[in-house]
């Protein structure tokens, strides 16, 4: 009887707890501690970021979401259409958020003006991300990111899993973000601690900081935050990064994070304030004990600043460390391997490079200064920017083509380095002065002393490097139209995209399982039509005027998670495919110069009335895909920084729906059969340092005539037009 009473009371307590929990609803405001009912809540936010699904405001509040799932943008199919904010915290103190899952939003958690915010055990995967326009064959300039300004929350245009502004002493731990664009973005956030998180396989940033100082970023897994890469074709990164540190962010500790396969591993830029006035920088950051390997561009980029880079692993990057205009920085005890150039510094001063290990890099250390610096930079007008005063000592350099490539640099002490099996030790010219290679015992003793770097104790630190060798190598960066492939679903990947021959090669990758080809178009003579993962096959292109390839496959095997986060249980079949389309068009392209008096943006006419214009350059091509830096040269060698492009072509299209997309800078108009279908003739609409991109859908069938008009006003220019069927 006594046991029955206890069981009854326990059951009654459990019943009351469950039924006492609040359910989430749109517009909910929470101002006191609560535990919410576990459920799946399909709730759209508004497209106004000040109107979230849930608002939290107050002090000393703990909200346990009890693993509830918030799903937004429920009528949208693609991540670039996601909108709204799931959770907004503002003007608060001592707030704890735990056990929340939120997906399908532009921003999952947005916090402003909050002190002592704790976010723990939350999953903010599969929120907003851009649809990438680059292909395996060619990058699209519109995919480049620009983080240079965030004074007015410009970063919000990219979305984020977590976006914090004016949030001091934040703690974020045991949280996960994948399948999005940006994990954590922080502006004017100081003295926080971010540890034991997994922000991986996103198409922008793992962690980004802007005017944020004294934060501790520790024991995080931040791998494959990348875009802009096609193995063996182009290696751009497009300003994606595992960790981004911008604009007067100082004294941060970056310790024992796994940050491989980022566009840049670590990307630090002093900021526009420093560039304009020569003051400040992103200084005194300590970057220690991390792995920044396999970046398409730089393992570590640190510019116009003073920092400490110690005991990091940097393998197989374009540049291991790019340190342009770095000064009074320490680069010590790092391990470099198989980089194009391990350490590259232009216009650096008073830097120490000591006790590093270099192995099989093409160059170990390259230092130089330019004869002239950009005239539009304020920095060299206020600072002495000569390349000078280096100490390079006690490094181990092995199997490197060139150990030291030096030019336009003064006063170098280079001694006590161990050099083995190097083709060339010094590559220098007459611009080098004050090169001292004599052993300096007093200096050597000072350099051997350990730096006093304080590492805070973390309870139960994770191991972000576990299983890291599984993804070793840049070859494992596979960028789809939605970002980096995460190896959790089947994929067929063309491994020779730039090959103009008839044989196409494919890798079949994914979880353990079987695949078979269900249908195909545009190819023939498959080497295999079924098999196990992983696998490789070949096929022959069918010759024709256009490329229209579609291979549909079926997978059955282990459970998988699709690129949009859908879980498919083991044993169930799923489809995956490869598509490639190119419609050649015989474009006739002409370029014309203009001046301010005939500016076609300001005037109603493209050319002045009653004047016959003669192109300074012309060509024929089968596709429009151009990028110009600093203008275009005429056939006589004259440079035109401002120009008009006119391109015309006709082609015969099979009847159906098509997607036409165009990337441009500065203005473009597209006509089909004399009808204006894209009118982007006002550059002032686009305020960001990015090339705009626009897509439209249209019905085509038969012969159509295309005309493209493009205007460049100076500096960088691009024009790219693509067409593909809508299946």
Same domain, 558 and 679: no
Q: Does the residue 518 lie in any domain?
A: yes
Residues 6+ apart with CB under 8 A from 346: 324, 325, 367, 368, 369, 370, 387
Question: What per-residue confidence (pLDDT) applies to 99?
Answer: 98
* CB-count exposure of residue 572 (10 Å: 0-12, 13-18, 19+): exposed
Domains identified in the chain, total number: 3
Range of the domain at 88: 32-128+154-159
Cis peptide leading into residue 666 (ω within 30°): yes
Pick the last residue of a domain from 535, 560, 581. 581
Question: What per-residue confidence (pLDDT) applies to 715?
Answer: 87
pLDDT along the chain (727 residues), means of 10: 45 44 95 97 96 98 98 97 98 98 98 98 98 96 96 97 98 98 98 98 98 98 98 96 98 98 98 94 97 98 98 98 97 98 98 98 97 89 95 97 97 97 96 95 86 87 94 97 98 95 96 97 96 97 92 97 96 96 94 87 85 91 93 91 96 94 96 97 89 96 97 93 92
Same domain, 525 and 591: no
Q: Does the residue 595 lie in any domain?
A: yes
Same domain, 668 and 576: no
- The token pair at 260 is 């491989």
Same domain, 558 and 647: no
Same domain, 597 and 714: yes
Question: What per-residue confidence (pLDDT) applies to 375?
Answer: 83
pTM, entire model: 0.94
Q: Does the residue 529 lie in any domain?
A: yes
Same domain, 605 and 721: yes
Pick the last residue of a domain from 159, 178, 203. 159
Q: Does the residue 439 lie in any domain?
A: no
Same domain, 563 and 611: no
Q: Does the residue 437 lie in any domain?
A: no
Closest among 378, 337, 385, 345 to 361, alpha carbons compared: 337
- The token pair at 160 is 């984020």
Residue 505, CA distances (Å) to 315, 477, 501, 502 in order: 28, 17, 11, 10
Pick the last residue of a domain from 142, 159, 176. 159
Q: Which residue has the tokens 């220690």?
A: 288
Question: What per-residue confidence (pLDDT) applies to 20?
Answer: 65
Query: Which string of DSSP letters, residue by residue, matches 539-557?
Result: EEEPP-SSEEEEEEEEEEE
Same domain, 591 and 645: yes
Same domain, 597 and 720: yes
Same domain, 717 and 632: yes
CATH of the domain at 704: 2.60.120.260
Same domain, 627 and 536: no
Q: Does the residue 41 lie in any domain?
A: yes
Q: Does the residue 85 lie in any domain?
A: yes
**Rounded-to-integer distance, Cα 438 and Cα 416, Å:** 8
Question: What per-residue confidence (pLDDT) applies to 627?
Answer: 94
Same domain, 622 and 533: no
Q: Does the residue 337 lie in any domain?
A: no
Please measure the distance between the N-terminal and C-terminal CA atoms of the chain and give it in whole angstroms: 69
């Amino acid at each position: 009887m006594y046991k029955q009473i206890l069981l009854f009371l326990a059951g009654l307590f459990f019943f009351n707890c469950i039924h006492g929990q609040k359910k989430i609803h749109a517009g909910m405001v929470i101002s006191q501690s609560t535990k919410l009912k576990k459920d799946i809540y399909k709730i759209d936010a508004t497209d106004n970021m000040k109107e979230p699904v849930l608002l939290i405001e107050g002090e000393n509040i703990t909200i346990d979401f009890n693993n509830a799932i918030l799903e937004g943008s429920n009528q949208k199919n693609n991540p670039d259409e996601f909108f709204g904010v799931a959770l907004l915290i503002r003007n608060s103190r001592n707030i704890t958020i735990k056990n929340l899952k939120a997906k399908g939003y532009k921003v999952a958690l947005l916090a402003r003006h909050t002190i002592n915010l704790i976010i723990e055990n939350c999953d903010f995967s599969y929120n907003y991300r851009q649809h990438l326009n680059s292909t395996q064959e060619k990058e699209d300039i519109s995919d480049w990111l620009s983080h240079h300004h965030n004074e007015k929350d410009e970063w919000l245009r990219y979305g984020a899993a977590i976006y914090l502004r004016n949030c001091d002493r934040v703690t974020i731990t045991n949280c996960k973000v994948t399948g999005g664009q940006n994990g954590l973005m922080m502006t004017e956030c100081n003295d926080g601690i971010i540890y034991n998180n997994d922000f991986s396989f996103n198409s922008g940033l793992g962690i980004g900081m802007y005017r944020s100082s004294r934060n501790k970023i520790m024991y995080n897994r931040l791998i494959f935050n990348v875009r802009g890469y096609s193995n063996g074709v182009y290696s751009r990164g497009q300003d994606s990064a595992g960790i981004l540190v911008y604009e007067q962010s100082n004294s941060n500790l970056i310790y024992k994070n796994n940050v491989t396969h980022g566009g840049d591993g670590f990307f630090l830029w002093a900021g526009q304030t420093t560039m304009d006035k020569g003051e400040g920088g992103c200084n005194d950051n300590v970057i220690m004990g991390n792995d920044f390997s396999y970046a398409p561009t730089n393992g570590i980029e640190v510019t116009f600043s003073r920092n400490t880079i110690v005991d990091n692993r940097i393998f197989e990057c374009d540049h291991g460390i790019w340190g342009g205009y770095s000064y009074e920085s320490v680069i010590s005890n790092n391990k470099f391997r198989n980089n194009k150039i391990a350490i590259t510094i232009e216009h650096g001063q008073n830097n120490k490079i000591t006790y590093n290990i270099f192995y099989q890099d093409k160059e170990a250390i390259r230092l130089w200064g330019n004869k002239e610096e950009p005239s539009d930079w304020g920095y060299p007008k206020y600072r002495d920017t000569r390349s000078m005063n280096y100490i390079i000592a006690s490094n181990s350099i092995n199997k490197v083509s060139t150990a030291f490539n030096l030019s336009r640099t003064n006063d170098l002490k280079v001694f006590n380095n161990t050099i083995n099996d190097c083709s060339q030790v010094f590559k220098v010219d007459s611009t080098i002065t004050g090169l001292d290679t004599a052993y300096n015992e007093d200096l050597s003793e000072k350099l051997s002393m350990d730096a006093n770097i304080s590492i805070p104790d973390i309870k139960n630190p994770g191991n972000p490097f576990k299983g890291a060798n599984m993804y070793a190598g840049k070859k494992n960066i596979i960028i789809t139209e939605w970002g980096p492939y995460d190896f959790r679903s089947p994929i067929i990947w063309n491994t020779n995209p730039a090959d103009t021959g008839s044989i196409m090669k494919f890798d079949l990758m994914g979880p353990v399982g079987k695949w078979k080809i269900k249908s195909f178009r545009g190819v023939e003579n498959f080497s295999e039509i079924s098999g196990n993962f992983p696998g490789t096959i070949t096929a022959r292109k069918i010759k024709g005027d256009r490329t229209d390839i579609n291979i549909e496959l079926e997978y059955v095997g282990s459970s998988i998670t699709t690129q949009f986060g859908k879980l498919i249980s083991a044993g169930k079949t799923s489809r995956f495919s490869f598509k490639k389309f190119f419609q050649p068009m015989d474009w006739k392209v002409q370029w014309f110069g203009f001046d301010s008096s005939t500016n076609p943006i300001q005037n109603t006419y493209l050319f002045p009335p009653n004047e016959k214009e003669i192109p300074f350059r012309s060509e024929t091509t089968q596709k429009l895909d151009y990028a110009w830096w600093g203008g275009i040269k005429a056939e006589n060698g004259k440079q035109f920084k401002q120009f008009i492009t006119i391109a015309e072509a006709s082609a015969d299209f099979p009847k159906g729906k098509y997607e036409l997309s165009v990337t441009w800078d500065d203005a473009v108009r597209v006509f089909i059969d004399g009808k204006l279908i894209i009118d982007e003739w006002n550059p002032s609409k686009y305020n960001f340092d990015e090339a705009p991109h626009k897509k439209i859908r249209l019905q085509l069938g038969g012969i159509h005539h295309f005309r493209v008009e493009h205007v460049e006003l100076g500096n960088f220019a691009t024009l790219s037009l693509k067409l593909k069927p809508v299946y």
